[in-house]
Amino acid sequence: MREPVNRTILLLDIERFSRRDNVVQAVLRRTLNKIVDQTLERADVEATQQYREDRGDGLIVLLSGDVAKTVLLRSLLTTTPELLHEHNLLASDSAQMRLRIVLAVGEVAHDPHAGTTGGLVGHDLNQACRLLDADVLRSALAARRDEHCVLAVSAPVYEGVVRHGHRGVRPELFRRADVTVKDGVLPAWIHEGASTGQGTAPTATASSSRDAGESAPADAAATASHGAATAGSPSQPAPGPAPAAQERAAGAVFHFHGAPVVHGSLVGGDQHGVSGGQVTGDVVLGGTRTEDRGTDGRQS
């Protein structure tokens, strides 16, 4: 067996993979490898800096120590969700893909045997695999129906990278989750994702506003119904219409004092039936010049 060396451990697992038929599983496997290719390419990881093992419903990826974990973490938080979103946008319901992802570090040895693939050995790798399979991570992904993946990091990655707040890595968006394993408790930090934290408050507010808006017409209708029932009650006579309502019912009422000038024509004599009222005397509509008036003061 070769000597163990320190590696960055990247694990990915497809949610509900075994529930798909063989054709869909083949599509998902190819898509997963393509997404990992592009994620690592965005993180400037060369082919010579990585080792992969296909685990059917997922991948084990080991990266050499000269790969910057900060750059890799930024790519996992941005590029991977974007690529999953693009796939799921076009894929059928049966080919939708969501991932559980774990980023860890540790000592890993490679013990290959002729005629077989694989051969990775290491306690740190075993612990990372247990974290990937933990119920808390499965539940976190199941609770985020509007997201495409969930990411957890091991304690060394959190302490060495996340908590320092490097560019694009916000430690406040990671919450601790202790995972019980065979030999004790394994601490991990799960990224909260886009739909939690500050993202939940607007949703609740929008829901509350919608509920309030929907209940307003019902309340108004109930109030009107109650008013009608009260008005029709024999013990309490209905109130008469308000003065404003009476005035509207009788039509517009105009009171003229003198001879108003409104730009237009001349109305002379008594006029009846104008807007429901009576006009008495001369009403001059429209301005006139002094030289246009006669000796009696009327327009010539």
pLDDT tens string for the chain (300 positions)? 789 999 999 999 999 999 999 999 999 999 999 999 999 999 999 999 999 999 889 999 999 999 999 999 999 999 999 999 999 999 999 999 999 999 999 999 999 888 888 899 999 999 999 999 999 999 999 999 999 999 999 999 999 999 999 999 999 999 999 998 888 899 999 999 765 443 333 333 333 333 333 434 444 444 444 444 444 444 445 555 555 444 444 454 555 555 555 554 445 555 555 545 555 555 555 554 545 555 455 554
The predicted structure's pLDDT at residue 229:
45
Whether residue 116 sits in one domain with residue 46? yes
Whether residue 98 sits in one domain with residue 176? yes
The predicted structure's pLDDT at residue 198:
38
Whether residue 284 sits in one domain with residue 146? no
Asked whether residue 129 is domain-assigned, the answer is: yes
Compute the distance between CA of residue 239 and CA of residue 274 in angstroms, rounded to an integer.
31
Compute the distance between CA of residue 50 and CA of residue 9 in angstroms, rounded to an integer.
10
Whether residue 278 sits in one domain with residue 137? no
Helices 69-90 and 22-42 sit at what angle, rounded to 10 degrees?
Answer: 140
The predicted structure's pLDDT at residue 209:
37
Q: Structural domain of residue 190, as residue ranges?
A: 5-198
The predicted structure's pLDDT at residue 19:
94
Whether residue 50 sits in one domain with residue 186? yes
Asked whether residue 247 is domain-assigned, the answer is: no
Asked whether residue 226 is domain-assigned, the answer is: no
Whether residue 271 sits in one domain with residue 192? no
Compute the distance between CA of residue 132 and CA of residue 23 in angstroms, rounded to an integer.
25
Whether residue 140 sits in one domain with residue 44? yes
The predicted structure's pLDDT at residue 115:
86
Whether residue 153 sits in one domain with residue 34? yes
Whether residue 180 sits in one domain with residue 261? no
CATH number at residue 132: 3.30.70.1230
Asked whether residue 76 is domain-assigned, the answer is: yes
Structure pTM?
0.65
Asked whether residue 81 is domain-assigned, the answer is: yes
Asked whether residue 275 is domain-assigned, the answer is: yes
Whether residue 157 sits in one domain with residue 286? no
Whether residue 112 sits in one domain with residue 24? yes
Of the candidates 198, 225, 246, which is a domain's last residue? 198
C-alpha distances in Å from residue 134, one per residue of 7, 181, 192: 22, 9, 16
**How many domains in the chain?**
2
Asked whether residue 114 is domain-assigned, the answer is: yes
Asked whether residue 231 is domain-assigned, the answer is: no
The predicted structure's pLDDT at residue 162:
97
Whether residue 263 sits in one domain with residue 139? no
Which residue pairs, CB below 8 angstroms and at least 24 apart, start in 176-182? 177/136, 177/137, 177/140, 177/152, 179/130, 179/131, 179/134, 179/136, 179/137, 181/127, 181/130, 182/130
